[in-house]
Structure 1
Amino acid sequence: MKRLFTFLAVWTAGMGVCAAAQQGVAAGKEKVYTVTENMRFPEGTLVLRSGEILVSNFGTDSLAPLNREGRGYIVSLNKENRILIPARGALNAPKGMAVKEDCLFVADVGCVTVFHLKKPGVQPVKIAFPEGEVFVNDIVAMGDFLLVSVTNTGHIYALDVRDCEAVWGARRPVPKLVATIPGANGLAEYEGTLYVASYDPEERPGAENGIYAVNMTDLTAEPVNLMGDRFGQYDGVAVSGDGKRLYFSNWRGENGAGEVGFVDLTPEGKNAVTVLDLGVELRGPADISVAKGYLVVPDLPASRVYMVAL
């Protein structure tokens, strides 16, 4: 860390939202800002259309991704860096998130929990997953459907959410199994291609643990592992706005440490991998997002979120 400074003005000018005063560090080509306020084992991130960034937190005393303590919460990185959804028993170990209309869908232990953003007084509901599908991990919206990954089984489910208000009624969506990818973890979608990060829940990654591209317009096509023999514990994936880069997080890079980087998706790039030099130690980079000019990287075990200037 070369110097301390207030991140508030920078973030307000660039995004329209901000965190409270943070630390910044210049490291090689990357400038990194650190968010620690109200962070307690942050796992999932989501950038809303407004530019606001949501961060899900376990809120527990120790790192427990499958806990059922009911202490989970979601922070909104705005001027107050406030807790948007407090720990009142509705969330256990919240992970990936997605928004459809006025509904916020949150992956949690064995279920997806749904909140109404415009009606805070409405009780959240839980969409239960089949028995054994406990490590519900990430969510991505595709048209009228949500795709949801379950890491311990590698299953990917679809939820029909064309009528979000029905979530609170008799027509609550039922998870439908649509695909299987080993250790399916983080999800991202761009122009009909679903990207799936693979994470071995037994923490013994092998050749099948890479990042897969799935052609959602032709489900008969085999998924393509973009990482070749560069296997690891891939957690989060996010596509740049122009579709040229697929950013990823990895708990176990080639040197055994956590890393973030990107895959070059351009035809001439041929899926070349670049690892970013952040100048900080990453213990467990989780569900990343691309914001306006920034890569949002939660470091789950460290209870920090890094904002990487792109």
Structure 2
Amino acid sequence: MKHLRWFAAVCGSMLLPVAASAQLPENAQKTTAEQIYTVTEGIRFNEGTLPLKNGGILLTNFGTETLNPLNRDGKGYVILLDKQSKVLFPASGVLNAPKGMAVKDDCLFIADVGCVVVYNMKKPDLRPVKIAFPEGELFVNDIVALDNFLLVSVTNTGHLYMLDVKNCNDIWSADRPKPQKVADIPGANGLTEHEGTLYIASYDPNENPGEQNVIYAVDITDPANKPMNLLGKRYGQYDGLAVTPDGSRLYFSNWKNADGKAEVGYIDLRPGQNNAVTILDMGVELKGPADICISDGYLFIPDLPANKLYIMAL
């Protein structure tokens, strides 16, 4: 097993938490564009998406009247999107503005305002636990699972934190893990990983993107490696990331390109392609595409301000 020395010598090798089989939900409506479907039912400011290994896609929702990614209204909830969709974890005052997610064993970890919230998926009635982050670390955004560890991004500070989650049951004890800062990436937002390479999307929290707000890649099996800019001067407000199973394409969402418009596209990661960028023609005007995911040949794209989830055949 390789060691993720880029973060800490104690980290183990990569383990992807999901390898899902997707099925279009019955409430998915066909758009005018070819092979694109829309879901609106039950969605209220959906930011996070996560495919589960046994099927279905989890969606985090703010549930608020107005869009505020740092709200503390306690109206957040989680939907399980399957052929028949249902609210898996209803609003109960626990979740505020839930964003990215990761699964480790029976634990569902959800990035929220200033914390990571943990639910037990096998025991949904067990009270959720909040793992608090240090003061000022508010925009806790995305999570990626790395074997017995989680990496968590915080956008407003550009920090990456590590959580030791070797034993899921420890979360409900006094021995619960504490966030450990391990790296700095400007505007660290969406995260994904493939075969030892971590990809990081950068989003300027002040809504004024500059040359540092791109997409980064780093080989985390070697401590000497530094994050590499995959996009050159093509900066923007990059949010969600999803890599294809074969590692050939890195899909991304971007709230603000050079023309000030939102977009979804991919970077060609194949050798000799020079990280060429292709923008998808979705046939719809996106407002703010957030935490995307890929499952069974479909790309799931939550348009956060529009209260819509687009499902696109790849």
Secondary structure at the aligned position of 2:35 is classed as strand
- Aligned with 1:97 (options 101, 105, 111): 101
- Whether contact under 8 Å (1:129, 1:175) holds in the other structure is yes
- Whether contact under 8 Å (1:31, 1:278) holds in the other structure is no
- Whether contact under 8 Å (2:211, 2:233) holds in the other structure is yes
Cα shift readout 1:183-232 (whole Å, capped 9, x = no counterpart): 00000011111100000000000000000001111233221010110000
- Whether contact under 8 Å (2:22, 2:296) holds in the other structure is no
Displacement of 1:15 in angstroms is 4.4
TM-score of the two chains, using structure 2 as the length reference: 0.92
Secondary structure at the aligned position of 2:97 is classed as coil
Secondary structure at the aligned position of 1:188 is classed as strand
Query: Partner residue of 1:280?
Result: 284
Amino acid corresponding to residue 129 of structure 2 in structure 1: V
Query: Partner residue of 2:171?
Result: 167
Secondary structure at the aligned position of 1:69 is classed as coil
Query: CA–CA distance in 1 between the matches of 2:231 and 2:100?
Result: 22
Query: CA–CA distance in 2 between the matches of 1:201 and 1:224?
Result: 21
Amino acid corresponding to residue 289 of structure 1 in structure 2: C
- Aligned with 1:25 (options 28, 31, 46): 31
- Aligned with 1:205 (options 200, 209, 213): 209
Give matches, 1:178-197, under 5 Å.
178-197=182-201
Cα shift readout 1:102-127 (whole Å, capped 9, x = no counterpart): 00000000000000000112100000
- Aligned with 1:308 (options 295, 309, 312): 312
Displacement of 1:52 in angstroms is 1.1
Query: Partner residue of 1:107?
Result: 111
Query: CA–CA distance in 1 between the matches of 2:82 and 2:234?
Result: 37
Q: Answer yes or no: is 1:39 the counterpart of 2:43.
A: yes
- Whether contact under 8 Å (1:199, 1:209) holds in the other structure is yes
Query: CA–CA distance in 1 between the matches of 2:238 and 2:139?
Result: 15
Query: CA–CA distance in 2 between the matches of 1:44 and 1:35?
Result: 14
Displacement of 1:26 in angstroms is 5.0
Query: CA–CA distance in 1 between the matches of 2:254 and 2:177?
Result: 32
- Whether contact under 8 Å (1:52, 1:78) holds in the other structure is yes
Query: Partner residue of 2:84?
Result: 80
Which consecutive residues of structure 2, in runs of 5 or more, have no partner in the other structure? 1-19
TM-score of the two chains, using structure 1 as the length reference: 0.93
Displacement of 1:90 in angstroms is 1.3
Query: CA–CA distance in 1 between the matches of 2:72 and 2:26?
Result: 30
- Whether contact under 8 Å (1:51, 1:292) holds in the other structure is no
Query: Partner residue of 2:64?
Result: 60
Displacement of 1:64 in angstroms is 0.6
- Whether contact under 8 Å (2:76, 2:98) holds in the other structure is yes
Cα RMSD between the aligned structures?
A: 1.2
Amino acid corresponding to residue 223 of structure 1 in structure 2: P
Query: Partner residue of 1:262?
Result: 266
Query: CA–CA distance in 2 between the matches of 1:168 and 1:240?
Result: 35
Query: CA–CA distance in 1 between the matches of 2:224 and 2:183?
Result: 11
- Aligned with 1:252 (options 251, 256, 262): 256
Give matches, 1:216-255, under 5 Å.
216-255=220-259
Which consecutive residues of structure 1, in runs of 5 or more, have no partner in the other structure? 1-13
- Whether contact under 8 Å (1:18, 1:81) holds in the other structure is no
